[in-house]
Amino acid sequence: MDVTANPLTPRRTTRQISVGSVKVGGDAPISVQSMTTTKTADVEGTLQQIYALTAAGADIVRCTCNEQAAAEGLAQIVPRSPVPIVADIHFHVEMALAALEAGVHGLRLNPGNLRKPEEIKLVAREAKDRGVPIRIGVNAGSLHPDIYEKFGGATPEALVESARIELAYFQEVDFSDVKISVKASSVALMIAAYRLASETFDHPLHLGVTEAGPLPGGLIKGTAGIATLLSEGIGDTLRYSLTADPVEEARAGRQLLESLGLRERKGLDLIACPSCGRSEVDVIKIANEAQAALSELQIPIQVAVMGCVVNGPGEARHADLGIAAGKKRGHLFIQGQIIRVVPEDEMVEALVAEAKKIAEEGVAARLAKRDLGAEAEAEADRAQLLDAKGADANNAGERIELIRKRTQN
């Protein structure tokens, strides 16, 4: 997909910071983040999860730093991690300082938990000396009591005010390598808070619906909030907060950005029809089998699985590769052009084989090698299905004649 032609609202201009090797804000690609669920002191287990998150699409990974053992673990994890590591700090300033000593690439501070101004400024000074950015991570569930009382609850204004106060402490020590989040578990509150934050700050914004919950509801809530803001040009980095394997968070973030045309596709994009009375196969079963088989190839390709040959190739002509079922056979097509017809029980196998060939040879070369008789076979199958299942279920021909008589009179 050509991201330069994306029809979404142009992204707002923000300052740019560096989280290790990853640029955040400005004209940098929107990045995907996730967080490990292992004990950070478990160095090997944490690294294993970091590598899995990276493979699923994470650009930055956050690890908790809640005790000395975790900080010591970070000292061993950071140099072996394939992506920048951010330390998550809650209540103890000592842990923030220890994480910096461990060499982390970023800190996340919750202003509702780490509240003493002098401690906050101390961390900012230490981070500045090391060139380490800080995320001001405001959370609707942990606002400072004074702010909560002043605004009568966790309102968008309260969340933004919490971030503003924290930013003012940083400014006192001339620290500006900051990104900001104003998360809430309510999608509506989260959207309103980020809209206000985008009007208030020029720092990059980290998007997320916090505590979104398990699948599928958590995925729906996260997408509703994050995608809404991205479509409005708001957001520089994001995280899905799911009660699930964090790999699902990274995968969802990457797929969302690819779906919106905000990142180039790096893996499979499988599209499939919802099925209908014309379907000749179990579309759900075939689509799931194709998804599993093709995902392993790690090829940036769009593949279509269509339940019938009547409209399938035409409706999915934009796909790099696809197959449509009809008369116990599958019509394999590339960008809408039929290249061969295969037995029904070989449909998934044919998709996988052709995907590999496209990756090796390119689309043009594969089209040049298509079976020249395949289109005629496919057309015969379409004609038979139209006769059997009816191309004119609404009696459109008779209705058109009646319309013409009415309009002519």
pLDDT of residue 106: 98
SS3 per-residue string spanning the chain: CCHHHCCCCCCCCCCEEEECCEEEECCCCCEEEEECCCCCCCHHHHHHHHHHHHHHCCCEEEEECCCHHHHHHHHHHHHHCCCCEEEEECCCHHHHHHHHHHCCCEEEECCCCCCCHHHHHHHHHHHHHHCCCEEEEEEHHHCCHHHHHHHCCCCHHHHHHHHHHHHHHHHHCCCCCEEEEEEECCHHHHHHHHHHHHHHCCCCEEECECCCECCCHHHHHHHHHHHHHHHCCCCCEECCCECCCHHHHHHHHHHHHHHCCCCCCCCCEEEECCCCCCCCCCHHHHHHHHHHHHHCCCCCCEEEEECCCCCHHHHCCCCCEEEEEECCEEEEEECCEEEEEEEHHHHHHHHHHHHHHHHHHCHHHHHHCCCCCHHHHHHHHHHHHHHHHCCCCCCHHHHHHHHHHHHHC
User: What's the mean pLDDT in 82-91?
Assistant: 96
Distance CA 60, CA 111 (A): 21
pLDDT for residue 294 is more than 50: yes
pLDDT grade, residue 3 (50/70/90)?
A: very low
User: Which part of the chain has CATH 3.30.413.10?
Assistant: 269-389
Q: What is the reported pLDDT for 318?
A: 86
pLDDT at residue number 1: 42
Instruction: Estimate to the nearest angstrom the gap between the alpha carbon of 255 and the chain centroid.
Output: 4
What does CATH list as the number for 269-389? 3.30.413.10
For residue 292, the tally of other CB atoms under 10 A from its CB is 10
Higher-confidence residue: 76 or 6? 76
Superfamily of domain 3-259: Dihydropteroate synthase-like (3.20.20.20)
Looking at the predicted structure, is the pLDDT value of residue 255 above 60?
yes
**Taking all residues of the chain, what is their mean pLDDT, rounded to a whole number?**
92
Q: What does pTM read for this prediction?
A: 0.86
**pLDDT, tens digit (0-9, with 9 covering 90-100), for 152-171:** 999 999 999 999 999 999 99
* pLDDT for 389: 55
Does the pLDDT of residue 28 top 70, yes or no?
yes
Q: What is the pLDDT of residue 91?
A: 87
CATH 3.20.20.20 boundaries in the chain: 3-259
Determine the average pLDDT of the residues in 47-52: 98
